[in-house]
Structures are given as structure tokens and as C-alpha cells.
Chain A
Amino acid sequence: MSRMSRISTIDQPEQPKLPPIAKKTVARARSYDDDAFIKLFDHRGGRDIIIMDNNGLPLRSTSSQRRTIFLVGNLKPLLFMARNVVRDLDPSNDITFMRIRSNIGEVHMTLGSEFILIVVQRFKKKFGNTEA
């Protein structure tokens, strides 16, 4: 049951074209909309996807409300801080993408013209700190 306003998938121009997916019942208490994009990533393991509008309000998410709010509350200031850094150094420049990588997982943040997409994923193999 979606408590958030509906955004049709055609308003997200930067999403890749995905083949149509057979609908499967999602084994969770809450159900998502007929959002083929979200359903596709549901099958892959260890990945959280959050779609936000330009101001940082979460619109769609594959994780629970609580975790989404926790992630957005931390990542949105980071993203806007990075944007300020980039603009400070060069006012004509603007950030398009930010990737934070740890030894256990990775966070990708993509800024489109009308939305912000966040992907949080975990690795199966653990990488240590990079050493030369």
C-alpha cells in the first residue's frame, strides 16, 4: 500500500529500458505499486533503492520506512554538501553522481534533472582497505 504520491515511471527519463517482468508475489507484509523498476531489483539480493524528488523527499523505496528515513536523513545532507563543494570550486559546475564505497558495500547517488536516485548495496566478498 503506497502512502506516497504516485509518480508514473515515464517521468523518470534516466531509467534504463527494462524488459517486461512477470509479476511475482512479493513475500513481504507490505506491497509495492505496479512498479516494474522496483520489482526487478527486489529479486536481487542486498540492495536498497530510494527515489527522491529534487528536494530530497523520498518518493519510493525498497526498504522499510524507518530505514529509508535513516538513510535519507544522512545521505541527503552529504549529497547537498558535495554539491556545495563542487559549486564553491567552480560555480558553473554541478554534481551528477556520487559514489561512497566502504569495505562492505557501496552507496550510489545519481542526480537527475527532476529526481535523485540512491542505491545502497552490499558486497558478497569483503574488500579490505586499498593498499598499494
Chain B
Amino acid sequence: MPAPETEIAQGKRTKTYVEEVYRQVLAKPGVEDILIMNHSGVPVKTSMDRQEGLQYACLYDNLREKCQAFLAKMEPAQTLTFLRVRTKYHEVLITPDAKITVLVVQNAKDISINMMK
């Protein structure tokens, strides 16, 4: 199995890449939950319970699609790189990517300026 670092450098979205993303994001301060979906919105790896993860994935994936549609309608046509929804108690970051979408739930009080890569 190739080392995760070389895979990340090549940008391949395989299982080790997913594991690495999962591990690195959970290590950051303030992060409560993480959910990784494949390109059709099915949760692949999550730190929440399955039921909750499914709910989050379904609802936020829907929202992300609507945002992408809005950006595509604008002049000039843009692509969504990042979506951030902040609420009273926490903040949800959604990063659509080539083949995966990463959803991170983090604590609202603990904001560090770490853009999720």
C-alpha cells in the first residue's frame, strides 16, 4: 500500500486518503464530528452514529446542490469550493471535492482559522 503522503500528493481519492483526511481533521481543535461522503452523497466514513450521519448527509448534500445550482446560474458560471453554515451552537463546513465531499461539524466557540483541506 503506498504511503498516504504520496497518495495525497498525487491527489488520489482512495481508502487510505479517506482515512488520512479523517484522522487529520479530527485532530484539529474544535472539531466535533466529521462525515465523508462519496460523489453520490452516501456517507462513507463518519464519526457520528449511522442514523444521524445519514440525516446530516442527506440534508446538507441537498443544500450543497442548491448552492451549486445558484452559482452556476450567476454570471460568470462559478463552481462551489466551500460552504459554511454557522449556527448558535456549532458550525458545519462542507467541502465538495472531486470524488468525495467532506462535512465537518465544529464547535462554534472555538474558531481557529484552519481551512479544511
Contacts and interface: CB of A to CB of B under 8 A. Distances in A.
Interface of A: 74-75, 77-78, 81-82, 85-86, 88-90, 93-105, 127, 129-132
A98 B85 CA distance: 4
Interface string B28-50: 00000000000000000000000
A contact face: mostly helix, strand, loop, or mixed: mixed
Contacts of B86: 95-99
Given A74-B70, A81-B66, A132-B21, A99 B84 contact: yes
A74 B84 contact: no
B83 interface: yes
Contacts, number: 95
Contacts of A105: 78
B9 to A, nearest CB: 9
B87 A96 contact: yes
Interface of B: 8, 11, 17, 21, 55-56, 59-60, 62-63, 66-67, 70-71, 73, 76, 78-90, 95, 97-98, 115-117
Contacts of B8: 132
A96 B76 CA distance: 28
Given A99-B84, A103-B81, A130 B117 contact: yes
Q: Counting chain A CB atoms within 10 Å of each CB, which of B67, B97, B117 scores highest?
A: B67
B11 A85 contact: no
A102 B117 contact: no
4 residue pairs, one from A and one from B, having the closest CB atoms: A102-B78, A97-B86, A101-B82, A99-B84
A129 to B, nearest CB: 6
Contacts of A131: 11, 97-98, 117
Given A88-B59, A94-B87, A130 B70 contact: no
Contacts of A82: 63, 85
A105 B55 CA distance: 29
Contacts of A95: 85-87
A100 B66 CA distance: 11
